[in-house]
């Protein structure tokens, strides 16, 4: 039976879909093309996937209609569809986060409860930790979201736990840490920095640039996500998926400056609401249960992303 990938036209979803197809798996991809960034780029993300005969694409809004037929057709569910972004989750847009992160997850879980033997892999976020007190941060840390986005992802996690406990849905929760790489969303820092470096444009950094992140290459995230669908001992559990090392924003900018061969014009502005000072993943449990090992160091991953941005710029 095909794998169901929600958010298949997004950044991580398109990479996961391609990986499955390359290994001969059939995929039913769904996406609702919400307005967090352009439909044209999302369609471009799945352009290569359409070359496979065992790929079916259906535009679906998970918050509307009956999903039972979609779930019934599939053997495993990878739920990556979401309303992303910390800074844009305040104010009037919070309703979109509730709809696309909480309500959509509940609808999909409800459909999955009719066939609880199917694996349900849910893509959560390190944003559920907020300003963590200890680094690296383990899964046992009490979540304290620092943004509306983080709150909705934690709410979706709670739904996964409830449907596992009450309906037997075989959920696995993965908390992704600062994913980057080719096809990264245009609102994310590395994509913005790479494009500005190529165009000789000024770069805006919120804060002093010393904030540290556990940056995780998209290929490593895909490997962990696929592993979560295969191992029985992970059912009902939650795992951090991080890059294995931290870097500051300023260190990332230095790497991009080297890749572009030019001095960057960096302007610093005040901190943004919801931004945290540091993230760092304790991946001990993912190593043990998922055989997860991040293989892409930041210099190598940033080079791959920079070269992809460069090739996209030359093609337009």
By DSSP bridging, strand 179-180 and strand 76-79 are unpaired
For residues 47 and 146, give the distance between their C-alpha atoms in angstroms, rounded to a whole number.
36
pLDDT given for residue 304 in this prediction: 98
Class of domain 3-179+216-244+279-295: alpha beta
For residues 68 and 42, give the distance between their C-alpha atoms in angstroms, rounded to a whole number.
25
192 contact partners, CB below 8 Å, separation of at least 6 = 186, 203
pLDDT digits (tens, 9 = 90+) for 56-88: 999 999 999 789 999 999 999 999 999 999 999
What is the per-residue burial (b if ≥16 Cβ within 10 Å, else e) of 22-54?
eeebbbbbbbbebebbeeeebeebbeebeebee
Segment among 31-45, 89-103, 115-129 with least mean pLDDT: 31-45
**Average pLDDT, stretch 139-163?**
97
Domain parsing of the chain, residue ranges: 3-179+216-244+279-295
**Confidence tier at 302 by pLDDT (50, 70, 90):** very high
Residue 107 has pLDDT above 90, yes or no: yes
Task: Name which of 30, 31, 29 is nearest 19 in CA terms.
Answer: 29
Residue 204 has pLDDT above 80, yes or no: yes
Find the catalytic residue in 37, 97, 129, 149: 149
pLDDT given for residue 9 in this prediction: 96
**Average pLDDT, stretch 177-190?**
96
62 near 32, Cβ under 8 Å? yes
For residues 9 and 151, give the distance between their C-alpha atoms in angstroms, rounded to a whole number.
24
**Average pLDDT, stretch 244-270?**
95
For residues 64 and 54, give the distance between their C-alpha atoms in angstroms, rounded to a whole number.
26
pLDDT given for residue 46 in this prediction: 93
**Average pLDDT, stretch 164-175?**
98
**Average pLDDT, stretch 233-242?**
98
83 near 10, Cβ under 8 Å? no
For residues 146 and 276, give the distance between their C-alpha atoms in angstroms, rounded to a whole number.
7
pLDDT given for residue 281 in this prediction: 97
pLDDT given for residue 314 in this prediction: 87
149 has catalytic annotation: yes
pLDDT given for residue 66 in this prediction: 86
Residue 38 has pLDDT above 80, yes or no: no
Segment among 28-42, 87-101, 140-154, 230-244 with least mean pLDDT: 28-42
Q: What is the mean pLDDT of the chain?
A: 95
What is the CB neighbour count within 10 angstroms for residue 300?
10
């Amino acid at each position: 039976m095909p794998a169901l990938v929600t958010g298949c036209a997004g950044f991580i979803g398109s990479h996961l879909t391609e990986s499955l197809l390359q290994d001969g798996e059939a995929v039913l991809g769904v996406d609702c093309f919400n307005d967090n960034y352009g439909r044209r780029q999302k369609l471009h993300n799945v352009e290569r996937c359409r070359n496979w005969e065992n790929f079916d694409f259906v535009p679906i809004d998970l918050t509307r209609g009956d999903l039972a037929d979609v779930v019934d057709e599939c053997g495993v569910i990878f739920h990556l569809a979401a309303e992303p972004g910390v800074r844009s989750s305040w104010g009037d847009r919070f309703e979109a986060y509730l709809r696309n992160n909480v309500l959509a997850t509940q609808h999909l879980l409800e459909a999955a409860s009719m066939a609880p033997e199917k694996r349900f892999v849910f893509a959560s976020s390190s944003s559920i930790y907020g300003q963590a007190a200890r680094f690296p941060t383990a899964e046992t840390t009490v979540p304290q979201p620092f943004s509306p986005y983080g709150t909705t992802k934690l709410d979706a996690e709670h739904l996964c736990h409830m449907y596992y406990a009450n309906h037997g849905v075989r959920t696995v929760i993965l908390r992704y840490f600062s994913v980057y790489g080719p096809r990264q969303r245009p609102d994310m820092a590395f994509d913005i920095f790479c494009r500005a470096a190529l165009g000789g444009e000024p770069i805006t950094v919120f804060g002093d640039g010393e904030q540290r992140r556990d940056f995780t290459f998209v290929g490593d995230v895909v490997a962990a996500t696929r592993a979560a669908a295969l191992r029985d001992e992970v059912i009902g559990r939650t795992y951090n998926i991080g890059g294995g090392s931290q870097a500051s924003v300023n260190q990332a900018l230095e790497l991009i400056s080297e890749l572009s061969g030019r001095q960057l014009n960096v302007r610093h502005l005040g901190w943004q609401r919801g931004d945290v000072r540091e993230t760092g993943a304790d991946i001990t449990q993912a190593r043990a249960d998922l055989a997860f090992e991040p293989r892409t160091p930041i210099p190598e991953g940033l080079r791959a992303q920079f070269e992809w941005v460069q090739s996209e710029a030359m093609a337009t």
